[in-house]
Structure 1
Amino acid sequence: MFATTDLQPLLAERGVALSREQTYRLVTGQPQRLSMVTLIALCDILECTPNDLIEPRIVEASARKASGEVIPRKSRVSARRTTINRPGHSK
């Protein structure tokens, strides 16, 4: 695949409708959010696992008190149960 426009029809076949601009940003940038459906479609298209596409990073966050004092807090990474529904497959 040489152009981001090649990815659009492959995603559409898997039930993911992204505009040309959204597809471009997905490929060239670092998306802040990525739906599970899109992630699974990308893994299917590229024949890879989520671990091949995602590199987790923990970023330090801070909270402010009413007085304006900054209190560092550790970022929390929590697990959340999810269900993956692949287009064309029934439960």
Structure 2
Amino acid sequence: MEISLAAVLVLGGLVILRWVIIGLGSLLVLHSARVCPACFEQTVAVRRKILTVLVRIAEWRWCPQCGWEGPSRKPERSPWTSRSVKSQA
């Protein structure tokens, strides 16, 4: 019985480790640019509550020129940018 419990713990740990590695790898793949990868025009940030709550270092972007939309990494904050942005909602 002890061997099966140890096997379950080891295999469960390997599954969790796999999820962590996949998550970190997918964050490294995301580009941090504010330009569209399809047409190289400026993109607009779209607010999505689920993405904001779950992943704080990624944001959803949309290109009004070609209609592309997808995830990207949030750019690093500059000390010169204002954090007081008013929402239209």
TM-score normalized by structure 1? 0.22
| Structure whose CA Rg is larger | 2
More strand per residue: 1 or 2?
A: 2
